Amino acid sequence: MPKVTTRQLRKQTQQSANAAVNKPKTIGGGSGAPYPKSATGGSTAHPTNSGDDSSRHFGPMFNKALGQHILVNPLIAQGIVEKAGLKQTDVVLEVGPGTGNLTMKILEQAKRVVACEADMRLAAELVKRARNANYQNKLEVLHGDVMKRELPYFDVCISNTPYQISSPLTFKLLAHRPQCRCAVLMFQREFALKLVARPGDPLYSRLSANCQLYAKVTHVMKVGKNNFKPPPKVESSVVKIEPINPPPPINFDEWDGMLRIIFSRKHKTLQANFNTKVVLEMLENNYKTYCSENNLMLEENLDIKQKIFDVLESEGASKKRAQKMDLDEFLE
C-alpha cells in the first residue's frame, strides 16, 4: 500500500471535479455521484437504510461499504483524544480518518500522525485540512486497506473503526511488535461490550477471552448514532485497549483452537463439548500428527475419548462451563 503524495491527491481530486462539473453531489445522484454505491447485500460497517431521506446531504457521498460514517461531534472527538493520554513525542496510527474531524484533534497533541485511509477522495480532504492548519509536516497518509499492509511503528492507535474490520483489526494491533502503549477504538456497541464482558455475562465469548488474555480492556464511553453523518442504525462505544507487556508465552493458534471447541456451546459442560464426533475425530488426527512429528510412540488401542476425559477429570474441569470460566481456569 503506497504512501500518498499531495501531488497525487491533487491530481485525482481535480480529475474528479472536472468529470462532475455543474452536477450537484447528492446521494442517489446516479453516475454523477462522487462515490460508487456499495454492492447489494455487501457487508457494511454501520448498517443503514439506503432509502432513508435523512441520509441525504450535499457534499461528498460517504461509502457505506467502507464504513464511512463520519464522527461530527467535536466533544466526542476531544474525549477520545483525552482518553488516549497523548504525549508530544507520540506517533499515532489512525485507521479510517475520514474527513479528519478526529485527526485534527490528534495533530494538536501528537508528534506525528500516520493515517490509513482506503478512500482517495477523503484522503485528499484530509491532506487539504492539515495543510490549511499548518500541520502538513506532521501528517502522513497511507492509502489502501489497513488489513493488507504491515503496520508502521506507532505509540498509540486511535480509530473510528469501520465495523466490518473490528475483530481482525483488534488482533492485528495486539500482534503488532513492538507493542503500542494503548489503542482507543470506536466499535459497534455490542462488539465493544463483548470485549469487556466478564465470566458469567451474557456476552462473554471467545472474543472476550482472547482479547483479555493479551490486554486490559476498559469501556470508555457510549456514543449515540446521531453523532455521526450519515447516522448509522446501531449505537457505538469507545474502548481502551492496553496490551500486557510482556505478552503471555502462549501459542495463540492452539489457545484459540481450544476456545473454539469449548465456546461452541458455552452453556454446555466441557465434557459435553469435547464428546462430539467431529471434535473427537479432529483431536485424534491432531494427536497422531503430533506423535509422528515428534517421534513419539502411539499407544496401542488408542481411545482418544477416554484420554480427553481423563485430562478433564484430572483438572477438575469436566463439569465446568465456558460461560463462567475465567482466564486462569482456561490456562490450567
* 182-228 pLDDT, tens digit each: 999 999 999 999 999 999 999 999 999 999 999 999 999 999 999 99
Q: What percent of the chain has pLDDT over 70?
A: 80
Lowest-pLDDT range of 67-81, 186-200, 228-242, 275-289: 67-81
pLDDT at site 12: 63
Instruction: Give φ, ψ of 241 to 5 degrees.
Output: -115, 120
Strand partners for 236: 188, 223
pLDDT at site 10: 61
Pick the closest to residue 154 from 69, 86, 256 (CA basis). Answer: 86
pLDDT tops 90 at residue 278: yes
Q: Are 309 and 271 in contact (CB under 8 A)?
A: yes
Say if residue 328 is exposed, middle or buried (CB neighbours under 10 Å; 0-12, 13-18, 19+): exposed
Would you place residue 13 in the very low, low, confident or very high pLDDT band (cuts 50, 70, 90)?
low
pLDDT at site 63: 56
Pick the closest to residue 263 from 203, 190, 223 (CA basis). Answer: 203
pLDDT at site 229: 87
Would you place residue 301 in the very low, low, confident or very high pLDDT band (cuts 50, 70, 90)?
confident
pLDDT at site 151: 94
